[in-house]
Structures are given as C-alpha cells and as structure tokens.
C-alpha cells in the first residue's frame, strides 16, 4: 500500500468568540491526538490567546492572517490565508466556521476542482430510523446542503458519485443505496434536471445501487444511504430536521415535568438519550466540502469546542481513508457512463 503523506490540519480561528472555542479545541487536540495543527488568524491576538491554554508547542503553530483591509473582512483574510496554505501543501485539511458562501467563493478562486466537477457540494449526515453499512451507522448522507443553489443534471450525478464514495469509506458501505430527492414518484412532476439525472444514474453501472427518486419523508426512514439534491433544497431539509429535533427535545423536557409522564420517560431513558445524541450536530464536527483537490471541512457557525474537536477528528479520518483519491477515480468512471443522448450536456 502506498504510504500516506504526513497530514496537517489548518484551523481557521478568525470566527472565535470570547470563548475561543476553535483555539481551545486545537490546543486540546495538540495534546490528545497525533496531529500537526496550524491555526490561522490575527497573529498577535492568536498568540496571546494561545498562551492562556495548555497545548503542545511542537504540534501547533500560527499562520498569520493580515488585518482586514478595504472590502476584505478579517474572516475573509483568514479564509484566503488558509486556502493559500491548503493549495501549497497537498496533504492538508482546512477546517473553518466562516460562512459557506465565502468559503465556496474563495475556494473557486484558489483551488483546483476535481475532474469533471463544476459545482461543489456540502455533505451532511441525517439521522435515520435504520442503520447503514457494516457499522450500522444511524444516519444517511445528504448533499448538497448549501454550497450550490442551482444545479444541472450533471452536477446532481457528480454529487451522487462523490456521496457514494464518501459513504463507502466513512460508513464502510460497499454498495450504498442512492436516491434523488423530489416531491413525489411521478416523473412529470419532477424538475427537468431531476428527470435527466435520473436517466443518467439509471444507466450507470457503478459501485452504488441507484433506487430512483425519494420523498423527504422517506429520507429519515433510512430507505437510502445517500440523498442527492440541490443546495437550496438540501439546506431547507437539513434545517427543518434540525428544528424538528430541537422542538422534540423541548417537548420531551416539558412533558417530563408533568408527574404523570415521569414514570414513562424514566422507562424510556436509554432510547431518549440516544435520540438526543443522534440529533446533536456537535457530535459530527462538520461537513466536508466535496469537489476540490483539497480537503475542506465546514463547521457550524455556532460551533463549540467539542464540535471543533470532532471536526479535527473527522479531518484525520478523511485523510487516513484517502477520500480525495477515491473521488478522483470514481468521478472519471461516472462520466464515461453518461447515456449517449446526454453526452452533449454539462
């Protein structure tokens, strides 16, 4: 097996609030994990904050981001510095809680896309009622969830290819089931891009099982392992599910306060805690931005120390499994199986 190059993780700390969540996560990881870290932010402020937390000085260093200039915010400067480092150091992952639109725009300017990819996709996990893959993971993969609002049929197919490769590696799912999100199972009601992507995927022989179009209510039932959609629809679905989870948790807490429900909830203690764990986005760390020849993980803009720490662990796992190499191979294979009447399309 080919040796995996030494890995570095660049952590954007420009979004840190007074809690210094990203920086504290990096400091803890430098002590607890086998990792080389580069934190990027205003140099003087970052060094000053770093001196207040325990860390391994041999495993963490600071990359200076210039101060904000006319028309360029401090967040933007940090993203530019981080992406520039990423471009120049192939075996590197960038983790950032900066706005997705900013990350995508700057990544397009600085990084080279993967073969055939014209639009990137964010891949998020969605809790489901049934498990997936050899590890019986209790979530499906949903992409895109905000990187690309307008998609062609070719974009959706490439999202499918990238999502299937990710599911195979992360969930040990050798042949993931894959579907395109739509409002129903009647083809005449689907957007044109969905009909064409459906035709393309139905004629593809690849390392996934294409099951056709799925409805939103079928996603959480776990009927498929990978769900494909445009970034606008995926973001709406993801935020809806997050809202439902928060509301359900609030209702459970409210019901638990009533004495006649306490006994029932005490009997359901284990399953209810499991539900809370699955609905907690901090456990997942972040979402990979797929489509570039470099590894990027986007974290929630309200990320805490725990979610940044888990994002660092996710970055290590993605690198160890050599995801980018797998995406490169599978994207070229998928393009070669495009149906003849779609060959002229992007």
Q: Give residue-wise pLDDT tens across range 194-235.
A: 989 988 888 877 778 999 999 888 888 888 999 999 999 988
What are the residues whose beta carbons fall under 8 Å from the beta carbon of 209, sequence distance 6 or more?
175, 176, 177, 178
pLDDT of 245 > 90? The answer is no
Contact between residue 191 and residue 157 where contact means Cβ atoms under 8 Å apart = no
Q: 140 and 168, same structural domain?
A: yes
In a domain, residue 185? The reply is: yes
Q: What is the pLDDT of residues 153-201, one digit of tens each?
A: 999 999 999 999 988 888 788 889 999 998 777 777 788 899 899 888 8
**What's residue 244's pLDDT?**
67
**Longest distance between any two alpha carbons in the chain, whole Å:** 66
* Count of structural domains, the chain: 2
At 343, the pLDDT band (50, 70, 90 cuts) reads very low
The answer to whether 291 touches 119, Cβ cutoff 8 Å, is yes
Query: 98: domain CATH number?
Result: 3.40.50
**pLDDT value for 118:** 92
Domain match, 339 and 247 both = yes
Please say whether the beta carbons of 12 and 95 come within 8 A. Answer: yes
Q: Can you give the residue range of the structural domain that contains 40?
A: 1-111
Instruction: Please say which residue of 56, 78, 111 terminates a domain.
Output: 111
pLDDT digits (tens, 9 = 90+) for 103-135: 999 999 999 999 889 999 999 888 887 777 777
The span from the CA of 163 to the CA of 142, in Å, is 8
Residue 301 lies in a domain: no
Q: Is residue 344 part of a domain?
A: yes
Which residue, 111, 139, 159, sits at the end of a domain? 111
pLDDT in tens, 18-74: 678 888 999 999 999 999 999 998 888 888 888 888 999 899 999 887 776 666 777
Give percent of the chain above pLDDT 70: 81
Assigned domain for 100 exists: yes
Residue 1: predicted pLDDT: 44
User: Domain end: 68, 89, 111, which one?
Assistant: 111
Could you report the per-residue pLDDT of 262-310, keeping only the tens digit for each? 555 454 444 445 545 545 556 666 889 999 999 999 998 777 888 899 9
Are 277 and 270 in contact by the 8 Å Cβ rule? The answer is no
What totals of helices (H) and strands (E) does the chain contain, helices first? 12, 12
pLDDT at residue 292, as a whole number: 94
Same domain for 72 and 177, yes or no, is no
- Higher pLDDT residue, 140 or 2? 140
Distance of CA 211 to the CA centre of its chain: 23
One domain for residues 106 and 54: yes
The verdict on residue 314 lying in a domain is no
- Residues paired with residue 226 on neighbouring β-strands, in sequence order: 141, 178
Residue with the bigger pLDDT between 205 and 152: it is: 152
Q: Mean pLDDT of all residues in the chain?
A: 82
More confident residue, 15 or 196: 196
């Amino acid at each position: 097996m080919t040796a995996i190059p030494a890995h570095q993780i660049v952590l954007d700390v420009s979004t840190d609030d007074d809690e210094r969540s990203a920086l504290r996560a990096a400091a803890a990881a430098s002590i607890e994990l086998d990792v080389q870290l580069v934190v990027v932010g205003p140099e003087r402020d970052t060094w000053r904050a770093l001196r207040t937390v325990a860390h391994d000085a041999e495993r963490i260093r600071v990359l200076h981001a210039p101060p904000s200039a006319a028309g360029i915010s401090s967040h933007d400067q940090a993203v530019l510095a981080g992406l520039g480092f990423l471009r120049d150091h192939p075996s590197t992952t960038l983790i950032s809680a900066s706005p997705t639109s900013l990350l995508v725009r700057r990544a397009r300017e600085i990084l080279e896309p993967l073969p055939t990819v014209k639009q990137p996709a964010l891949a998020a996990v969605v809790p489901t009622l049934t498990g997936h893959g050899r590890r019986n993971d209790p979530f499906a993969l949903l992409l895109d969830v905000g990187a690309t609002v307008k998609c062609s049929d070719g974009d959706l197919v490439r999202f499918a290819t990238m999502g299937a490769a990710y599911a195979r590696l992360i969930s040990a799912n050798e042949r993931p089931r894959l579907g395109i999100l739509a409002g129903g199972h009647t083809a005449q009601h689907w957007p044109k891009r969905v009909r064409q992507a459906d035709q393309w995927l139905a004629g593809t022989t690849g390392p996934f099982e294409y099951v056709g179009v799925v409805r939103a209510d079928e996603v959480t039932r776990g009927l498929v392992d990978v769900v494909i959609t445009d970034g606008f629809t995926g973001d709406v679905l993801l935020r809806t599910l997050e809202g439902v989870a928060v509301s359900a948790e609030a209702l459970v807490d409210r019901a638990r306060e009533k004495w006649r429900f306490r006994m029932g909830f005490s009997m359901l203690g284990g399953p209810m805690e499991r539900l809370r764990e699955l609905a907690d986005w901090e456990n997942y760390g972040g979402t990979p931005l797929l489509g570039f020849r470099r590894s990027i993980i986007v974290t929630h803009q309200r990320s805490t120390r725990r979610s940044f720490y888990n994002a660092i662990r996710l970055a290590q796992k993605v690198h160890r499994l050599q995801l980018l190499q797998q995406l490169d191979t599978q994207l070229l294979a998928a393009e070669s199986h495009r149906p003849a009447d779609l060959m002229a399309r992007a």
